[in-house]
């Protein structure tokens, strides 16, 4: 079965990379209605996942995330659980920061604010899936029919986007610290790191789009989930982005 | 004709065979019906209802004890049932009601939300472990994850009792300790049952979602604030 057997037994890294590029990615076995089809997206070990997470936090110039870390074995484990963790870390940390900000206020009564989890889930999962779909569609349209050579599969795009969101998890936890300058510094650092991972992978075609969308997500999360003492019950009219409008409309 | 005679000759000696009257020939020709024996073992239609309920209750209680003292036993995995998880989920969801009820928008989780988080979360974790190559069956995993919520449900009950006496810093510290201990207990108990069914190089990938699941439930319990 040509799909299953990879005859390259050599330890030669270059050789492996060559063959994997030629194959253009793993072909999942079975149709999309079988369990095995989805099993092929979870074919990773603990070490591999940790390695990919490390790669998303330390983007080195010249290291294309897809080519260096994924090596045509993209997985859905990382993107999915990073998104889930991010949803809860943003909602919980935002709740904690609101609580810490209002601690001196005698009229404040603590609220768990569980509706924030739903909003965070919608926003983050939409970002992690719709943006890669758009990006992949755009790149594929540009490549035309030569999808295998130099183009990325849809799964690889989703995978790199999912892993690039990892840096926001520790950032959201650190946002509990109630210093505005620290929060804006953290958000800048996170955006740079996360954006670099994406830019180094998809350079240079969609640089501007990636930066803009990433900025919108980060700033939107910060403004909505980490509101400071000045409560703004109505949506901020100066923010033009649809992401933020969507988030505040759902509240 | 000759062939028929030839064929009948091997049996020629049998024509003289007769059963001696000295040997009593008696016996039971009826075929022992094995199904009736099987029916006695497995047919529970005829037993009193009380016995049926008690047997299920005993099975559920047995699993509760297994969760309290988790050791790698296959009993809990083999005879899975979902009564225990349902009971625990309903209890937990009911205990999480009645808090900060004046503003539904910013209050605690609704009854349905707790249900969704527990069951949907368990299903997702089970799917995750199966996709990673786990050998545990779907319902067995649901059973284990549901039963291991028990320490957290007990913690919720304790928290509500503590909250009756007051909601100051001391009560918060007590609740924090109780919830942390029970969260650790739940995670430890469920991984004791689930870890064996995973290939060793992917154990952490399966344990982390379980950790996250019980952490979120623990968070819901800890942040429960009573209505003023």
pLDDT for A161-171, tens place per residue? 888 899 999 99
ipTM score over 0.85, yes or no? no
pLDDT by residue (tens digit) across A60-78?
A: 777 777 777 777 788 889 8
Chain A residues near residue B175 by CB distance under 8 angstroms: none
pLDDT digits (tens, 9 = 90+) for B94-124: 888 876 544 455 556 678 888 888 899 999 9
Q: Provide residues of A within 8 Å CB-CB of chain B.
A: 35, 38-39, 41-42, 44-47, 49, 77, 81, 84-85, 88, 92, 95, 109-115
What was the pLDDT predicted at B162?
A: 87
Rounded to a whole number of angstroms, the distance from the CA of A111 to the nearest CA of chain B is: 6
| Mutant choice from B223, B226, B228 vs A, greatest count of A C-beta within 10 A | B223
Q: Is the CA virtual torsion B18, B24, B30, B34 positive or negative?
A: negative
Residue A108 or residue A76, greater confidence: A76
For residue B195, what are the contacts with CB-CB under 8 A and spacing of at least 6? B203, B206, B207
Contacts of B191 (CB under 8 A, 6+ apart): B207, B210
pTM of this structure: 0.72
d(CA B167, CA B148): 28
Q: Does B137 touch chain A (CB under 8 A)?
A: no
Residue B222 in this model has a pLDDT that exceeds 70:
yes
What is residue A69's predicted lDDT score, i.e. its pLDDT? 77
Name the band, by pLDDT with cuts 50, 70 and 90, for residue B180: very high
CB-based burial, A24-38: b 16+ in 10 Å, e otherwise: ebbebeeeeeeeeeb
Q: How many CA atoms lie within 13 A of A224 on its CB side?
A: 28
Report d(CA B135, CA A136) in Å as an integer.
Answer: 35
For residue A143, the distance in angstroms to the closest alpha carbon of chain B comes to: 33
Using DSSP's 3-state secondary structure scheme, residue A212 falls into helix
The DSSP call for residue A235 is P
Cβ contacts of B205 on chain A, cutoff 8 Å: 44-46, 49, 77
- Structure confidence at residue A6 as a pLDDT band (50, 70, 90): low
């Amino acid at each position: 079965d040509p799909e299953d057997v990879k005859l390259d037994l050599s330890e030669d890294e270059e050789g492996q990379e060559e063959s994997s590029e030629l194959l253009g990615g793993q072909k999942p076995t079975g149709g999309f209605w079988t369990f095995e089809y989805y099993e092929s997206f979870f074919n990773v070990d603990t070490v591999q996942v940790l390695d990919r997470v490390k790669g998303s936090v330390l983007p080195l110039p010249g290291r294309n995330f897809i080519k260096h870390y994924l090596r045509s074995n993209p997985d859905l484990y990382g993107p999915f659980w990073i998104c889930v963790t991010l949803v809860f870390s943003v909602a919980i940390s935002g709740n904690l920061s609101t609580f810490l900000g209002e601690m001196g206020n005698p009229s404040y009564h603590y609220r768990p604010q569980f509706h924030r989890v739903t909003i965070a889930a919608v926003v983050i999962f939409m970002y992690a899936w719709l943006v890669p779909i758009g990006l992949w569609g755009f790149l594929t349209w540009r490549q035309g029919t030569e999808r295998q050579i130099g183009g990325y599969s849809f799964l690889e795009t989703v995978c790199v986007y999912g892993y690039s969101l990892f840096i926001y998890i520790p950032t959201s936890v650190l946002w509990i610290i109630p210093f505005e300058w620290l929060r804006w510094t953290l958000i800048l650092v996170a955006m740079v790191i996360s954006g670099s991972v994406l830019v180094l992978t998809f350079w240079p075609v969609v640089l501007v789009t990636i930066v803009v969308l990433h900025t919108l997500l980060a700033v939107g999360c910060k403004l909505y989930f980490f509101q400071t003492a000045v409560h703004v019950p109505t949506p901020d009219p100066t923010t033009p982005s649809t992401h933020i409008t969507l988030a505040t409309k759902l509240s | 004709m000759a062939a028929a005679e030839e064929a009948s000759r091997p049996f020629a000696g049998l024509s003289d065979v007769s059963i001696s009257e000295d040997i009593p020939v008696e016996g039971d020709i009826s075929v022992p019906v094995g199904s009736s024996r099987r029916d006695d073992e497995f047919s529970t239609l005829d037993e009193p209802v009380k016995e049926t309920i008690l047997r299920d209750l005993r099975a559920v209680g047995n699993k509760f004890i297994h969760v309290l003292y988790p050791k790698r036993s296959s009993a809990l995995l083999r005879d899975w049932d979902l009564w225990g998880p349902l009971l625990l989920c309903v209890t937990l969801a009911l205990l999480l009601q009645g808090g900060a009820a004046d503003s539904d928008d910013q209050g605690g989780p609704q009854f349905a939300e707790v249900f969704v988080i527990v069951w949907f979360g368990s299903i997702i974790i089970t799917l995750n472990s199966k996709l990673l190559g786990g050998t545990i069956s779907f319902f067995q995993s649901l059973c284990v994850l549901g039963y291991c919520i028990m320490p957290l449900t007990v913690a919720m009950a304790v928290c509500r009792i503590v909250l009756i006496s007051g909601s100051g810093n001391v009560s918060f510290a007590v609740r924090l300790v109780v919830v942390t201990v029970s969260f650790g207990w739940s995670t430890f108990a469920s991984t004791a049952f689930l870890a064996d069914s995973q290939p060793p190089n992917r154990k952490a990938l399966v344990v982390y979602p379980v950790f996250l699941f019980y952490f979120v439930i623990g968070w819901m319990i800890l942040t429960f604030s009573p209505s003023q």
